[in-house]
Amino acid sequence: MTSHFSKITFFIAFVLLISCQEKTKVEEDFRTNVLSQIDSIQGDVAVAYINLSNPSDTLLINSEEEFHAASTMKVPVMIELFKQQQEGKINLNDSILLKNEFKSIVDSSLYSMDVGDDSDDVIYSKIGTTVALKDLMYSMITVSSNLATNVLIELVGAKNVTASMRDLGANDIQVLRGVEDQKAYDLGLSNSTTAMDLMMIMKAIAEEKAGTKEDCDQMISILKDQQFNEIIPAQLPNDVSVAHKTGSITGVHHDAGIVYLPDGNAYVLVLLSKNLKDFDKGTAQLAGISKTVYDHFIDQEK
């Protein structure tokens, strides 16, 4: 009896050992594959990936390195808008006078946005009229409107945005100001983030911890309408949907999102880059990393 029990115990231990070794090899191969892709990019790259149904399946590369946040910081602003609505401070159905005059965080001097530097030119024809907050928020995310962003940050307060991100476990992201504050930029006062923090933020939205279920559902719906799709979704199958936000400035191209498969399973992926020597080539290479992550996730589901 004892001998039989010992054989069973040994067999189970052996199976678990083999399984663990196989998992470790899969993880090592995955990491090696992504690292080789990063090595081919002329620039600095950070990756943060987590399988939402199996949190032990992660990949973190340079995930705590600081990057200029570019337009990825507009997701925290969206979260803060929903939060302040829940607190009764604002109503997203209300309208606000659209202006193009903002105060620098350096000395409160006034500056205006240039339509030529913005990705949303339509909104400039509405200056001087009232626009619904929810419409400004939608433009801020889907077409990355800088003018809409500045109006909304002024409304909710940059410090409040950062504080709310701390509550979600994002410990390093800094939302200091709106966009195109040249005096602040010249002094190095820019919004910054890490891949880890953006992963935590997108994970919070996916898991309905960034607000009420209804609010998180609305956030996901808006993020799925993203108009810039050159990185995470670029090489993925058409039946895969991505709720994401991109960001770009000179030499910088980011994408942070939740990737949903047709079967309902999902993962979060953040790809950050800076010092890109060739922006277009770097963008395509980042899209290639996204495809590698997708292939890995599919293999894990089998």
User: Which CATH number goes with the domain that contains 188?
Assistant: 3.40.710.10
pLDDT band at 15 (very low <50, low <70, confident <90, very high): very low
* Helix segments in the chain, DSSP class H: 2-39, 74-86, 133-142, 146-156, 158-167, 182-186, 195-206, 213-224, 279-301
Tokens at 136, concatenated = 């400004």
> Is position 12 within any domain?
no
Q: State the pLDDT confidence band at 1, using cuts at 50, 70 and 90.
A: very low
Identify whether 180 is part of a domain. Answer: yes
219 within a domain of the structure (yes/no): yes
Q: How many CB atoms lie within 10 A of CB 32?
A: 10
Band (pLDDT 50/70/90 cuts) for residue 23 is low
Please compute the mean of the pLDDT values over residues 87-114 and round it to a whole number: 94
Q: Does residue 21 lie in a domain region?
A: no
Total-model pTM: 0.91
pLDDT of residue 10: 56
How far is Cα 195 from Cα 105, in angstroms, rounded to an integer?
26
Confidence of residue 120 (pLDDT cuts 50, 70, 90): confident
Domain coverage including residue 127: 41-301
Q: 259: which strand partners?
A: 242, 267
* Domain annotation covers residue 182: yes
Determine, yes or no, domain membership for 270.
yes
Helix (H, G, I), strand (E, B) or coil at 246: strand
Answer yes or no: is 76 within a domain: yes
Assess whether pLDDT exceeds 90 at residue 179: no
| Residue 246 pLDDT greater than 90, yes or no | yes
* Count: domains in the chain: 1
Q: Give CA–CA dist 132/140, Å, rounded.
A: 12
CA 184 vs CA 163, 164, 258, 294: distances in Å? 20, 22, 32, 38
In this prediction, residue 180 carries a pLDDT of: 86
Q: Which helix (H) or strand (E) holds 260?
A: strand 252-260
pLDDT > 70: percent of the chain: 92
Least confident of 6-10, 40-44, 181-185, 284-288: 6-10
Q: Is residue 158, in this structure, part of any structural domain at all? A: yes
Q: How confident is the model at residue 62 (pLDDT cuts 50, 70, 90)?
A: very high
